[in-house]
Amino acid sequence: MKIYYSDAHLQHNPPFEIYDGGEKYPHLEVPERAERILAALKQNTWAEIFAPEDFGLDPILAVHDPDYITFLHSAYHEWLQTEADAGYDKTALLPATFPPRKQRRKPKALLGKAGYYISDLSAPLVAGTYAAALAAANCALSGAKSVSQPVYPPQKPAATFALCRPPGHHAGKANCAGYCYVNNAAVAANWLSKQGKTAILDIDYHAGNGTQEIFYDRADVLTISIHADPDNEYPYYSGYADETGRGTGLGFHHNLPLPAGTGDQTYLGTVEKAIALIMAYLPSFMVISAGMDLYAGDPLGKFKVSQEGIHQIGKEIAGLKLPTLVVMEGGYNNAALGENIVALLGNFA
């Protein structure tokens, strides 16, 4: 199985994020996550590690607002210049001002723009964020290209894993949030959709709200997200069951929210519902947004899915026998992260 990984992710290592209540904590989404996964994969003979190809900006700009991507590129360095005399720590750009609803004017001031494009206090920009986010998108695109090519023997569909870091599924068309900057899965799925209908199944504990926004009006990419009920859990403002798409996209988005404490049996029953929706759609390609924070021991999650449960989820998806790109999203139990991904991917090897 081809694994796409770039050590450019090491450049994105924000020193802190801000939790509810205003406390400054060490940034939970750390380079160690990707290194642990890589180390666990290397223990398996089926895992072949490749550096990603550079696809340039076009496939990223096909799903993200160009001004937003320019902001990601330049904001941190611009901030160092414009706020040079501000007298506070400038290791991570994180705004304190956010646009009120229905007031979406984009100001010229750097810190105003930061509030415009950064939606919450868990998406700080540091010097290496842009380079890391581009490399992650290139990992997903390289995986997409790989699964789109014919496979021999033909009865075994291709499956690849993009070891993306930073993750992507909370990044919308023009905003970063929740550790996500460029929506790697959406960039790859959009690229694949030019060659055939594509389905995205998001199994991260948190709703894939960025992916939902990006494809909400489209019928050529089916999006399904299984996640914690947003009434009680981040990202709060979308991911509800009655959000099913808009216009030509109506009926092509599905949210399957689940309560805290959900274990293997309920989760796998929900995966079966998702699989039925995917089979009815008849896609040519599958993209899995693989967040491992559904795992019982995750510090950010409240599900009780076991490692065996994660293995079974992979088995259900592999049973579709479709060319499948698995994209890394969240997952913060670092000690179990590598083994959890191996449990998921072993089904495709």
- Contact window for Zn ion (CB under 5 A) among 32-40, 124-132, 221-229, 326-334: 326-334
Among 17, 29, 233, 293, binds Zn ion (CB under 5 A): 293
> SS3 for 299?
coil
How many CB atoms neighbour CB 71 within 10 A? 24
Q: How far is the CB of 205 from Zn ion (least distance, A)?
A: 5
Site string for Zn ion, 248-287 (x = CB under 5 A): ----------------------------------------
Largest CA distance in the chain: 63
9 among known catalytic residues:
no
Among 95, 210, 249, 291, binds Zn ion (CB under 5 A): 291
Confirm or reject binding of residue 205 to Zn ion (CB under 5 A): yes
Phi-psi region of 22 (alpha: psi -120 to 50; beta: other; left: phi over 0): left
Q: How far is the CB of 150 from Zn ion (least distance, A)?
A: 34
Please state the φ and ψ torsions of residue 91, each to the nearest 5 degrees: -75, -25
Q: Which residues make Cβ contacts (< 8 Å) with residue 175, sequence separation at least 6? A: 68, 117, 118, 119, 210
- Contact window for Zn ion (CB under 5 A) among 81-89, 138-146, 313-321, 322-330: 322-330
Confirm or reject binding of residue 235 to Zn ion (CB under 5 A): no
Q: How far is the CB of 39 from Zn ion (least distance, A)?
A: 22
Angle, helix 66-82 to helix 129-148, in steps of 10 degrees: 160
Residue 187 burial (10 A CB sphere; 0-12, 13-18, 19+): buried
- Contact window for Zn ion (CB under 5 A) among 11-19, 89-97, 101-109, 324-332: 324-332
Confirm or reject binding of residue 330 to Zn ion (CB under 5 A): yes
Confirm or reject binding of residue 303 to Zn ion (CB under 5 A): no
Alpha helices (H) in 260-327, listed in sequence order: 264-281, 307-318
Chain position carrying tokens 């259900």: 316
Q: Which is nearer to Zn ion, 190 or 225 (CB)?
A: 225
Distance of alpha carbon 183 from alpha carbon 189, whole angstroms: 10
Distance of alpha carbon 180 from alpha carbon 166, whole angstroms: 6
* Tokens at 232, concatenated: 């009680």
Confirm or reject binding of residue 204 to Zn ion (CB under 5 A): yes
Catalytic residue among 12, 27, 170, 206: 170
DSSP assignment, residue 44? Answer: S
- Contact window for Zn ion (CB under 5 A) among 24-32, 74-82, 158-166, 289-297: 289-297
Q: Which is nearer to Zn ion, 64 or 302 (CB)?
A: 302
- Which sequence positions are flagged as catalytic? 170
- Which residues bind to Zn ion, rule: CB under 5 A? 204-206, 291, 293, 330
